[in-house]
Amino acid sequence: MQALLLLILAMSSTYTFSNDTDLKPCPDTPNCVSSQAIEGHSIKPFALANSSTVDTGTLVALIQRLEEKVSVINDNQRIHAEFTSRVFGFVDDLDLVISQKQNIIHVRSASRTGHYDFGVNRRRIEKLRALLIQEGVIQ
């Protein structure tokens, strides 16, 4: 089932990645943060605790603990999660790209619609960072 969802996601994407560690760029709106962005959209990537292989199952489980309505797709190097808000049903996207070569996990969290997110995406990344530090996955 996950393989089918990954295939559908890949086929429906309008953005092509130039390499294995690229994230979709943030739009001009302030409702996105990314470890590959600059200035206001920028957020630090997750530095891995050690150079061993990352257990993506642990990452997925921790992402699922962040909020109630979340669906996650995992292909062992990339993780994509969709968060749906309780009240209005807005969807936010979270993307993680594991770069063993750089010993980091690149992160991006963005709202699909609207202009402002009142810091929701940045707080989501920092909450995930705290969980990953607590579990010893990152520094």
Query: Can you give the CATH number for the domain in which 65 is found?
Result: 3.30.310.10
Residue found by looking up tokens 């962040």 in the block: 66
Whether residue 2 lies inside any domain: the answer is no
Whether residue 9 lies inside any domain: the answer is no
Q: What is the pLDDT along the chain (139 residues), one digit of tens a residue?
A: 444 444 444 433 333 334 567 999 999 999 999 999 988 999 999 999 876 678 899 999 999 999 999 999 998 889 999 999 988 899 999 999 999 889 999 999 999 999 999 999 999 999 999 999 999 999 9
Whether residue 7 lies inside any domain: the answer is no
pTM of the predicted structure, to 2 decimals: 0.83
Residue 4: exposure state from Cβ atoms within 10 A (0-12, 13-18, ≥19): exposed
